[in-house]
Chains A and B, each alone.
Chain A
C-alpha cells in the first residue's frame, strides 16, 4: 500500500527511469530479448532463486537495484545492483560474465564473490538456466544506483582470500538427476539444492561460514533467527507434516501447525508463493527424504522444575488466549506450539526473538491476513521469557533444552541493536537516510 509520499517519489523517479531506459537497452548481450519463452523461464528461475530478496532494499527499494545489507557472521555485505543499468547495474555485462558470477562466484573484473551470493547452490543450474535469468533481468526497469558492496571488516575485506575458500568449499557442477528416484524427487532436489538455495540458511555452517554438508538442512542460526531443521526428521524436521501441509506453508505462509515470519516470510512472499503447485510438491517430496540428524531424543525438562511451573503460569496468562491451553493454536492463524517444529528447535533463538519483539507473519494472495503477535519484551523480564519458553519447548510431548535468562538477555541486547526491519544498526550506518 503506497503512502502518498512514496507515490510522489515513485512518479518522479519513474520519469527519470524512462529517460534512462534506452541506454540500458542498447547494450550488447547474446540472450534474445524477443524470446518470450526464455524470458518467462528466466522469470520463474529468478523467482525460484529469490534474486529479488537480497538484491532489493527492504525499505521500499526498487526491484533488483541492490543496496540491501546482507548480514553474515563476518560482517555485512551490501547486495549489488543487478538491473540493466549500464553504469551501476549489469547492463554492460556479457552473458558469459553473468554466468561466471552466478554459477562460479567470479565477478566481472575477475575478483571472487563472497558466498553471501549463493553461487555454491546456483552452480547446480545449467548455463541455459542462467542465460534465461539474464534474459529476464534484462527486461526489468534499469535503476541508477551505485552500491559499494564490500563493507566487511579486515581481514575479510580482502577478496583474494575467497580463492582459498572456493578451493576448500566450492564444488562447481550442474545438478545430476538420480535415475533411481522419481521425477518429482529429482525436481525437488534440483530446486532445493540449486536455485532455491535452501541450505544457505537452513544448513549448519563451519567456522568459515561454509555448509556442513554432512548435516544439510538440519537448521542454522541466520540473521538473528534460527532457520529450523527442514529435513524429513519426524520430530525436529518436517517429516511429520504431509506433503500438502508443506506445500500450504510454502504457498500461503501458513498451515495447520505453523506459520512463517522473518527471512522465511520474505522468501514465501517473494519466492515460493509464486511457485507452481507441482514444484512445491516436488520440494516437499524431496525434503521428506533428507536425513535428519539422528540425534537421540532428549528427555523433556521435568514438569516439577521451578522454571516449568513458572512458565506454565505465564503461558496461561499471556499465551493461551491465542495459542490455547492445549498449545494447539488455530490452524493458519495462530501456530500450534504443541506441533510446530520451530517451537521445539534445539536452538531457541527464534522463540526468544518472537516473544521479545513480537512478529508478523507473511501476507500472501491466498492468505492475506498476516496475523501478528505482540511484543512481550516490555512485559516479561529475561527470567520470565526463559521460563515460558522452557515450558512451551517441553510441553505437549515436546522436549528441548531449557532456555536461561542469560540466553534471553543476550538476545535482548542483540535486538536492541536492530532496526525495525530487523537489520543490525551497525550494519546500516551511513547507508540509511
Chain B
C-alpha cells in the first residue's frame, strides 16, 4: 500500500538534462516541482573528482556511472520470430543512472539536426518520389520545424556554453563553419576548442578533396564560461576522459555545471533520489494523470500526486513507463496499429582506422576531449544527391579521436597476433601514429519491424515485464554505411596513411559492442495521433497533463548526436507549457 504524499504542482520523472531544464523552467513559472530520480545524487567533487575521474578501469570497464543491469535491463532480439534474451552486461549503449543522467557521462557533442531532418518524409518524397524510400520504412515528419526549434537550440547552446564556429548565421554562410547547417540566429557562445594534429591533418585532406571541414560543436569548454543563469565552467584540460566519465574539472556541460546549482537554491524545488517510479497513476477516466507511484531503496511504496507529470527518463524507460501505465495504444507491428513502441531506432556507426609511418606522424592521441574533432557534413541527411546511390540518410564524418586511454588504446593493424612480441611491437609502433575513431555517424531510419514492446517472459524485481527491443539493420543503412566508409577512407588515404582499415557497419545489429547511447523513438511526436504518441509539444495525445521529453520523441534518428535536439525540444515543450498549457490546461493540439 503506497503512502500518499502531499500534492505537488509538477512531478518530474528523472533528473537528467530534460528533467533539470523542465524543473528550472516550471519553478521559474512559480510551480512547486518535485523530481524523482532512480539513481543517486551526483556531484563533481565527490563522485568523479579530478583526483580519480581519470580511472579507465573504474568508469569505462566497470561502468561506474551506469545503471546496473541487476536493477533492471532489457531483452533483445534481431527479428520478430526470435526469442529475446535479457542483456546482462551493457554493450551497444549505456543506460545512464543518477542525477545528471546521460549529461554526466556524455562526450558533449552538441549538434543541431538539419532543417530537412524534421520534415523528412515530405522532403524525401518530394525530391526522390515515394518509391525511392526503403521498403517498410515508417519514417515521418516531426510535427515541428527547424524554425520552431531554432530559438531553443540557441537556449540550450547558451546554457551549455557550446563551443563552435557558426556555418550559417541568419542565412549567410560563414567561413570555417558547417555550410549545411540551418540558419542560426547568433554565433556559438564560445569559440571552438583547439584541435589536435591528427584532427587538423584530416581536415586539411578533406578540404583538398573538396569538402567543407569545420570543428565539431563541443560542450567541452574552450575557455571559462558563465551561462545566462550565472553558473560557471572552467576551460577543458584535454585530459581525454570524457565519454562514460564525469568531468571533475567543471569543463563539460552537464546539468551539474549549468543548471542544478540554480535549481537547488529554489524553495519550490525538491528531489527524491534513489527512488524508482513504477507507474504513472491515472484517474477513473484514464485521461488524466493523477501523479506517480515510486519505490525507495527500502522497498517503501509512495504515491506522489501532482497536477502535471513530466516524463524525463532515458528514451527506453519513457516508453516502458508508458506501456506499464497503460497510456497510449501499444504498437502492433503485425497489424501496423498503435503508437507506443513504434519507430524505435538507434544509430548506424562506421569507422576507419589509419596507420601511419611513426617516423613522420605523431598524433599524441591522449591530448583530447570528448567533443574535439573536425567534421564534414557533406554526406549527412540530404546534403547530397542520393539518386545515384540507392539509399537515403547519411551522417557526419569526423576525425574525432577523443582519447588515448591506456587500457583500450592499443591499435594494431588487422592480422596482428592477439598477444606476444609482434603484438607488443605493433602497439608500440602505432600508439602515437594511429588515427582511430574515424567516426561516421550514420543515421538510422525507422522500420515497421524495429520496435519496443513488453517482454512476454522476463520480469524486473517488481514483477513488471522488461522492455523488449526488436532491432536489426535494413539494407538502406548498410548501403549508406558502406558508401560513407569509402568516402572516409579516401580522406585517410589522402592524409598519407600506410594502412587504411575500413569498418563499415554490418548486420546483424550487435548488442555486445558499443555504438552510441543514442536510442530513439518509441514514443514519437507528430502531427497525427494515429502514428505518434505525442503531439508537437511533446504532450501525450491520450493524457493531456502528461508530457514526455527526450529522444523517445524522435520519429527516426538523424546522422548526429541527439543531445542538442533533446535539449531544444525540452525548452520548446517548456515554453508551450508555460505560455499555453498553464493558462488553459488541456490538449494543446486538437485531434
Contact = CB atoms under 8 A, between A and B. Distances in A.
B414 to A, nearest CB: 37
B250 interface: yes
A152 interface: no
Interface stretch (A76-84, A200-208, A224-232, A371-379): A371-379
A376 B232 CA distance: 23
Prevailing SS type, chain B contact patch? loop
Nearest to A320: B237
A318 B261 contact: no
B99 to A, nearest CB: 11
A374 B232 contact: no
B212 to A, nearest CB: 34
Interface string A303-334: 00000000000000010011000000011111
A363 B264 CA distance: 10
Contacts of A373: 45
B269 interface: yes
> Counting chain A CB atoms within 10 Å of each CB, which of B45, B50, B232, B265 scores highest?
B232
A330 B46 contact: no
Interface in A119-162: none
Interface in A309-362: 318, 321-322, 330-334, 358, 360
Contact of A1 (B226, B229, B233, B266): B266
Given A367-B230, A370-B261, A373-B45, A3 B271 contact: yes
Interface string B48-75: 0111100000000000000000000000
A366 interface: yes
B429 interface: no
B51 A379 contact: yes
B43 interface: yes
Contacts of A8: 6
B234 A333 contact: yes
Interface string B228-257: 011111110101000000001110000001
A375 B257 CA distance: 19
A8 B34 CA distance: 14
Is the interface on chain B under 10, 10 to 19, 20 to 34, or 35 or more residues?
35 or more
B585 interface: no
B34 to A, nearest CB: 8
Is the interface on chain A under 10, 10 to 19, 20 to 34, or 35 or more residues?
20 to 34
Interface in A1-49: 1-4, 7-8, 11
B374 to A, nearest CB: 25
Nearest to B234: A330
A405 B297 CA distance: 43
Contacts of A376: 51
A322 B249 contact: yes
B267 interface: yes
B44 interface: yes
B269 A1 contact: yes
Nearest to B221: A330
B5 interface: yes
A2 B229 contact: no
A307 B232 CA distance: 34
> Counting chain B CB atoms within 10 Å of each CB, which of A363, A369, A371, A375 scores highest?
A369
Nearest to A373: B45
Interface string A231-257: 000000000000000000000000000
Nearest to A322: B249
Nearest to A3: B270
Contact of A2 (B50, B224, B248, B270): B270
A73 interface: no
Given A321-B237, A372-B44, A379-B51, 13 more contacts: A1-B264, A7-B6, A11-B6, A330-B234, A333-B232, A333-B234, A334-B234, A358-B45, A369-B257, A369-B261, A371-B232, A374-B45, A374-B50
